[in-house]
Amino acid sequence: MTKHRLSLATLAVAALLGAACSPVGQDGGGGTEDPRTGQARKGGDLVVALSEEPDRLDPSLARTFVGRIVFSSICEKLYDVDENLEVVPQLAADLPDVSDDGLTVRIPVREGITFNDGTNFDAEAVKRSLDRHREISGSARASEIAPIEEVRVVDDTTVEIGLSEPFAPLTAALADRAGMIMSPAQLDKLGENFADEPVCVGPFSFAERKAQDRIVVTKSEHYYDAGKVNLDRVVYRTIAEPNVRLSNLRSGDIHVAEDVAPTDVATIQNDANFQVVETTSIGYQGITVNIGNGDGVGPPFTKPGTPLASEEKLREAFELSLDRDALNKIVFDGRHTPGCTPLSPASPWAVEGFECTPHDVEAAKRLVRESGIPTPIPVELITANNAEEVRVGEVIQSMAKEAGFAVTVRPTEFAAALDEAEAGNFDTFRIGWSGRIDADQNVHQFQHSSGSLNWAGTNDADIDRLLDEARAAQSTEERKELYRQAVERASEVRGIIYLYHENLFLGAAQEIVGLEYFGDGLIRVTNAGFAAEQG
Amino acid sequence: MSAPIEVVGWRTRRRVRLRQRFLRRPPAVAGLAFAITAILIALLAPLVAPYSPDAQNFGAALAQPGGPHLLGTDELGRDVLSRVIWGARASIQAGVVATLLAMAVAVPLGLIAGYFRGGWDPVIMRFTDLLLSFPFLVLAVGLAAILGPSLTNATLALGIAAVPAFVRVTRGEVLGLREEDYVVAAVADGATDRVVITRHILPNTVSPLLVQATVTIPTAIIGESLLSFLGLGVQPPTPSWGVMLSSAQSFITQAPWLALFPGIAIFLTTLSFNLLGDGLRDVLDPKALT
Amino acid sequence: MGRYLLRRAGASLVVLFLAAVVVFAGVRALPGDPALALAGEERDPESLAAIRAKYGLDEPILVQFWNWLTLALQGDFGESIRTGIDVTDILLSKLPITIELSVLSVLVAVVLGIPAGVLAAVKKDTWIDHTSSGIALFGLSIPNFWLGLMLILGLAIYFPIFPASGYVSPLEDPIGNLMRMVLPAFVLGTAFTAVVMRQMRSAMVESLTADYIRTARSKGLGEFTVVASHAMRNSLITVTTVVGLQLGALISGAVVTEQIFVIPGFGKLIVDAVFQRDFPVIQGAIIVTTAGYILVNFVVDIVYSLLNPRIRITGAAT
């Protein structure tokens, strides 16, 4: 009955690490909407509907985006991002101090704060958590902070991290789950079952979880900024179907609905009882073209023998046939942000003034003719098997047809699609990336020949060199320039044809104030509450 | 034995009488008529449909029913009427082919189990019980997920899921027939198994199997639309009623007609087969014959 | 009888074992690697290997099966690959929800189906009979997921009488619980009502012409007494057994209904777990369903053969 969210939707729709309440001028899509501000009264239970069931609530093991939304109320991190997606200290006392060779990173941590079980937060606890992230079996964090060789406690308020190579994206990684610090007392108690009752530093503390139903967190008395917290409880419910989330919002059963479908936005906006909070994702959506993944991800790179893989000109023709604006208008009511790079306009890393390949059917036809390959040229497109993704596939199908491509849309269950992608058993794959704060995390693993998610099989010496240099460079300006060059080269190779950046929509009752929805696309409820009675 | 001519004569007379009895039942006749119409529409879809089922017209997206598009258009501006007409192909193919498939597998198994009994009977029956111990849809969803989404695989999954019911019907019928005097007599006269089966057993299982088929076809049609609804059936842009319903779900408030018409199509088709099945059962029921 | 019972029980156990084999093999035949599906966006080779090791997915399949079977026999179905929660706990928390939905829909079927069937039989071949038989046929033919959508559209969106979907525990909010169950129970009960009505009608038609009823009538008993106490009682036995054999249909229906109305029960659990490749959950949920189904079939079979030894049970399908 319904769209299955464990689908590309996990990457695509629920996606997003990111989104920014875009500052004026960076907004690529329609007008973004800020959440309602105003005086909140104390007390109240906020019910938030998530689009998917969170996985285990263990910062070292957790893998779902919705899990991060829950963590945002119970587990603070060394660093966080502000509304401009700039990294700011949270449990750290200041930004890290990096040695000249880039191999030693010193992080001062806050003092005088406590975990939600009342135990003391200190550098020792930070080391314990970072080590656990790196070492626990099945860690989802290990690869994010792989260059960390050693974590040392300098004193109660300072940790020092030794790196195997300079690693500029480290701070950004510590602004995500890899920077979450768990209570050592609770780790002693629960060990690898920490998820049964997670305890960190946070405005709320974990109260109960009913599988596939709800996760309840209650206001923490130990939180260092408890005075700012208004709500008594936050209840996270899982409602996978977008229209069901919406009807529950209307009926008042929930107060906040994550991931409202773009096509439903207008309906909510027109209702005085509700507000829509919007932000542009720092992820991207695109088509991965199999150009060198003939027999599985990674080297050796073998061409799969399809026309698109053999002829660079045909990939250009394929892109020329696609009308990004029309796609956005038809399927998403024009509410996403068309784009053609891995770096969203919402991100500080966005490439300014980048020119997309225009929609030009005549030019596409000409290239197809010149290639000498008889039309229609067969192209198979794997998409998620939900209605919206199939719609995207069908629109692409009809656009590419005009240029002489016969696209077969093959909706596939997500789990099965991943297998095909890993095995290199596909022509093209409609998939995206939820986005991360640092540019490296949005480009390297997809475009670098050694990338673990290099499903396209891109193997380009220039791209590899630029991405390696960008990783090691310390100055932001220098790194930005390297990413600009890398993105330009990638747009010629076309291992991934980037299509658009999602805009994310939160539906909320009008009475809710103080929601924060930015940066990493999390729903921050620390300062949220029910509006105080007027007058 | 000695009077094959008379047997044929009796059969012909019976057939005529059955036809008359059937024709006296207006609901059954209506069911038959609609089922035939649906099959014809499916076969003649290219001629009947006013538009191409996958021609997108973004300018005319979500047009209300009436006007140039009798049943409106969908979110990509495709003509709903044409898609409903083409959708009949997937549904009826799934319904009929799955049923035939199930019969092709189940009837021989049921025959072996019921006629020869012995060692094979318990094996076949445990196999049947095994398949029966999974609820029909759970089995179909599982099989379709294993086989991968496509109309062929959905049909296959539904066919396999329908096997056990046919085995039981066939076996039960054959067990009964074996005890009939004329079968016992034929065996006593030294007729070979092949002769007994083809002359005496099989022809008499036709009625119950026909009735079972009219129950299975609508179940499989609903099953196909459900699998497509779940994304485990027909591939786009091929229209299918289930696929149409699945994508209509996101437009249920803005464009309720998108969910209305494919649903009505499924409903009418299954209704027609059910009417037909009821009529056949009444007509063929041995109790009603006397 | 004892021998028959024993043989029947033995056969049931064999089927249950085979079902376990089929489920276990079937789950592993699903395309897609559960480790990949679970890994989310961080699917580096080390974490994939760790996931496989943690859930024993890297062991030979027979070893996996043996480990699973021995634990399952002790009521331990392992833990969910996705959420890490004990599968047994998940099943126990879902079971009451689906049972509530099923009981309510059986209630709908009984309350609507039995009177309609009796009435149709008593007024055989009148417009009452034709109307209720016609409605029953509609109920059988209507695809229930579509009916669900239409009811949501009509009674939750256009005329917001009932909540569109969702579930609250009856312990928390009994009225809210019932309000949310009305539409799903009706949807799930529709086809069922039709079956009950038709069975009731044909059983009543048969018993109303039976000798003992004629005797009762000739003794001058009132028509109501004849129908209510004599004919109905006998028909109810038949109907009850038929209803019992419809459990499979009920579970199939629950799969659909729970998806449409987003009720976190067994049906939704199974479908979601299939899409998420959460092996232990799929295995646990299906084997429990199957065991329940086999048990009910067994009981019905026994009851049936006690009541009427001559009757052979045929198709219980769908």
- What are C209-220's pLDDT values in tens digits? 777 777 777 777
Q: In a mutagenesis test of the C interface, which of A63, A297, A437, A446 is the best target, namely the one with the most C β-carbons within 10 Å?
A: A63
What region does A372 belong to: left with phi over 0, alpha with psi -120 to 50, or beta?
left
Q: Tally C-beta pairs within 8 A across A and B.
A: 77
Q: Which residues of A touch B236 (CB under 8 A)?
A: 390, 393-394, 397, 409, 411
What pLDDT is recorded for position A295? Answer: 86
B191, pLDDT greater than 70: yes
Q: Band of the pLDDT at C245, cuts 50, 70, 90?
A: low
Same domain (yes/no): A61, A122: yes
Tell which wins on pLDDT, C227 or A118: A118
According to the model, what pLDDT value does residue B286 have?
53
pLDDT in tens, A427-466: 999 999 988 889 999 999 999 999 888 999 999 999 999 9
Are residues B109 and B121 in contact, defined by beta-carbon separation less than 8 angstroms?
no
User: A141 with A216, same domain?
Assistant: yes
Does residue B12 carry a pLDDT above 80?
A: no
| CA-based nearest residue in chain C for residue A141 | C42
Does A5 fall in a domain? no
pLDDT at B5 over 90: no
Q: What is the mean pLDDT of chain B?
A: 85
A288 and A255 belong to one structural domain: no
Nearest C-alpha neighbor of C55 from the set C44, C74, C39, C31: C39
Q: Which domain holds residue A366?
A: 284-501
Q: Binning pLDDT at 50, 70 and 90, where does residue A68 land?
A: very high
Measured between alpha carbons, how far is residue C15 from residues A126, C71, C250 in Å? 54, 19, 20
Across the interface, whether the CB atoms of A415 and C31 are under 8 A apart is answered yes
> CATH number of the domain that A309 lies in?
3.10.105.10
What pLDDT does A24 receive?
32
* B137: contact with A, CB 8 A cutoff: no
Q: Is A271 an 8 Å CB contact of chain C?
A: no
Same domain, A459 and A323: yes
Query: Taking 90 as the threshold, does the pLDDT of residue C222 lie above it?
Result: no
Q: Tell me which DSSP letter residue C42 carries.
A: -
Which of A330, A391, A412 is opposite residue B247, by nearest beta carbon?
A391
Residue A454 forms contact with C (CB below 8 Å): no
pLDDT tier, A17 (very low <50, low <70, confident <90, very high otherwise): very low
Domain ranges in chain C are 1-82+276-318, 88-272
Q: 3-state DSSP: chain C helix, strand, coil percent, rounded to 5? A: 75, 0, 25
Q: Which has more confidence, A82 or A467?
A: A467
Rounded mean pLDDT, A34-41: 79
CB contact under 8 A, C43 and A4: no
B55: CB partners within 8 A, 6+ apart: B78, B79
Cα gap C70→C64, rounded to integer Å: 10
- Residues in chain A with CB shorter than 8 Å from the CB of C262 are 239-241, 244
Please give the average per-residue pLDDT across A255-276, as a whole number.
90
Q: A263, B237: Cβ pair inside 8 Å?
A: no
Average pLDDT of span A453-481: 92
Those of residues 164-193 in B touching chain C at CB distance below 8 A are: 164-165, 168-169, 172, 175
Contact C33 A419 (CB under 8 A): yes
Tokens of A402: 């005009």
Which of the residue ranges A16-20, A61-65, A495-499 has the most confident prediction, judged by mean pLDDT? A495-499
A479 in the same domain as A336: yes
Tell me: pLDDT of B83 over 50.
yes
| Residue A95 pLDDT level (bands cut at 50, 70, 90) | very high
Taking residues B63-77, report their average pLDDT: 85
Q: How confident is the model at residue B69 (pLDDT cuts 50, 70, 90)?
A: confident
Looking at residue A519, what is its pLDDT? 60
Q: What is the mean pLDDT of chain C?
A: 82
CA-only gyration radius of chain B, Å = 22
Query: Would you tell me the crossing angle of helices B257-284 and C144-152 to the nearest 10 degrees?
Result: 140
Contact call for residues A187 and A209 (beta carbons, < 8 A): no
CB B157 within 8 A of CB B227: yes
Subunit contact A247:C163, Cβ cutoff 8 A? yes
pLDDT score at A20 = 34
Task: Measure A373 CA to nearest chain C CA, in Å.
Answer: 34
With an 8 Å Cβ cutoff, are B138 and C16 in contact?
A: no
Average pLDDT over residues A197-216: 91
Which residues of chain B does C252 touch, with a Cβ-Cβ cutoff of 8 Å?
Answer: 135-138
Cβ-nearest to B253 among A267, A387, A388? A267
Domain ranges, residue B245 = 22-48+88-289
**pLDDT per residue as tens digits for the range C158-208:** 788 887 777 778 887 888 888 889 999 999 998 888 888 888 888 888 777
Same domain, A390 and A303: yes
* Closest CA–CA distance from residue A58 to any residue of chain C (Å): 10
Peptide bond just before A300 cis, omega within 30 deg: yes
> Chain C partners of B137 at a C-beta cutoff of 8 Å?
252-253, 255-256
- Contact between A85 and A437 (Cβ < 8 Å): yes
Q: Is the pLDDT of residue A105 over 90?
A: yes
Contact A244 C94 (CB under 8 A): no
Is residue A359 located within the same domain as residue A300?
A: yes
* Residue-level pLDDT at A33: 66
Is pLDDT above 50 for C55?
yes
Whether B62 contacts chain A with CB within 8 A: no
Report how far residue C119's alpha carbon sits from residue A83's, in angstroms, rounded to the nearest whole number.
Answer: 69
Residues A487 and A526 placed together within one structural domain of the fold: no
The Cα A432–Cα A3 span in angstroms is 17
Is C145 close to A251, i.e. CB distance below 8 A? no
- Tell me the chain A residues in contact with residue C79 when contact means C-beta distances shorter than 8 Å: none
Both A370 and A403 in one domain: the answer is yes
* A376 contacts A314 by C-beta, under 8 angstroms: no
* pLDDT band with cut points at 50, 70 and 90 for residue B107: very high
**Residue B48 has what pLDDT?**
87
Q: Which of A54, A161, A41, A166 is nearest to A101 (CA)?
A: A166
- pLDDT band for position A412 (cuts 50, 70, 90): confident
Give the pLDDT score at A238.
86
Among A253-267, A295-309, B52-66, C276-290, the range scoring the smallest mean pLDDT is B52-66
The stretch A221-247 carries a mean pLDDT of 89
Please tell me the predicted confidence (pLDDT) of residue C196. Answer: 87
User: What whole-number distance in Å separates Cα of residue B199 and Cα of residue A325?
Assistant: 69
Report whether pLDDT(A502) > 70: yes
Tell me: pLDDT of C4 over 90.
no
Q: What pLDDT does residue B81 have?
A: 93
- Residue of chain A with shortest Cα separation from C50: A138
Please tell me which residue of chain B has the smallest CA distance to C267: B138
Q: Are residues A229 and A149 in the same domain?
A: yes
Establish if A8 belongs to a structural domain: no
Please tell me the predicted confidence (pLDDT) of residue C1.
61
**Chain B: residue nearest C289 by CA?**
B134
Interface of A with B in 267-306 (CB under 8 A): 267
Q: Say if B62 falls within a structural domain.
A: no
From chain A residues 51-70, the ones with a CB under 8 A of any chain C CB are: 53-56, 58, 61, 63-65
Inter-chain CB proximity B76 and A330 less than 8 Å:
yes
Q: Decide if pLDDT at A535 tops 50.
A: no
Candidate from A2, A390, A413 with C-beta closest to B145: A413
User: Cα–chain-centroid distance for residue B290?
Assistant: 29
CA–CA gap between residue A235 and residue A54 (Å, rounded)? 13
Most confident of A169-173, B8-12, B212-216, B253-257: A169-173
Of B132, B137, B256, the CB nearest to C317: B132
Q: With bands split at pLDDT 50, 70 and 90, how would you rate the model's confidence at A12? A: very low
Give me the pLDDT at residue C311, please.
Answer: 43
- Summarize pLDDT for C85-99 with one digit per residue, the tens: 889 988 998 888 988
Q: C143 and B252: CB-CB below 8 Å?
A: no
The residue type found at C143 is P
Residues A171 and A127 in one domain: yes
Cβ-defined contact of C153 to B252 (cutoff 8 Å): yes
- Among 2.40.50.100, 1.10.3720.10, 1.20.58.220, 2.115.10.20, name the CATH number for the domain at C88-272: 1.10.3720.10
In a domain, B63, yes or no: no
Please give the distance of CA B252 from its chain centroid, rounded to a whole number: 29
B76-80, C12-16, C111-115, C249-253: lowest mean pLDDT where? C249-253
Residue A2 falls inside a structural domain: no
Tokens of C47: 């974490």
- For an interface test with A, the pick among C38, C42, C168 (most A C-beta atoms closer than 10 Å) comes out as C42
Instruction: Residue B277: give its domain's CATH number.
Output: 1.10.3720.10
| Length of chain A counted residue by residue | 535
Q: Do A1 and C256 touch (CB under 8 A)?
A: yes
Separation in Å, CA of A182 to nearest CA in chain C: 18
Which residue among C140, C141, C289 sits closest to B135, beta carbon to beta carbon?
C289
Tell me which chain C residue has its CA closest to the CA of residue B134: C290
What residues of B are in contact with residue A385 (Cβ under 8 Å)? 149, 231-232
Quick check: A520 pLDDT over 80?
no
Global ipTM? 0.81
DSSP state of C104: H
Look up the CATH number of the domain holding residue A190: 3.40.190.10
Nearest-CA distance from B242 to chain A in Å?
Answer: 10
Give chain B's domain count: 1
Taking each helix axis as running N to C, give the angle between helix C266-276 and helix C87-122, from 0 to 180 degrees, rounded to the nearest 10: 130
Rounded to an integer, the average pLDDT of B50-77 is: 84
* Residues of chain A contacting B142 with CB distance shorter than 8 Å: none
Query: Do A430 and A287 touch, CB atoms closer than 8 A?
Result: yes
Q: What domain count does chain A have?
A: 2
Per-residue pLDDT at A103 exceeds 50:
yes
- pLDDT over 70 percentage in chain C: 92
- The pLDDT value recorded for residue A28 is 35
- Clarify whether residues A236 and A247 are in a common domain: yes
Q: Do B254 and A326 touch (CB under 8 A)?
A: no
**Mean pLDDT highest for which of A230-244, A484-498, B192-206?**
A484-498
Pairwise CA distance, residues A307 & A291, whole Å: 10
Query: Which of C191-225 are b and which e, b meaning 16 or more Cβ less than 10 Å from the residue's Cβ?
Result: bbbbbbbbbbbbbbbbbbeeeebeebeeeeeeeee
For B78-97, give one letter per residue: b (16+ CB within 10 A) or e: bbbbbbbbbbbbbbbbbbbb
A212 chain-C contacts, CB cut-off 8 A: 90, 94, 264, 268-269, 272
pLDDT at position A525 is 94
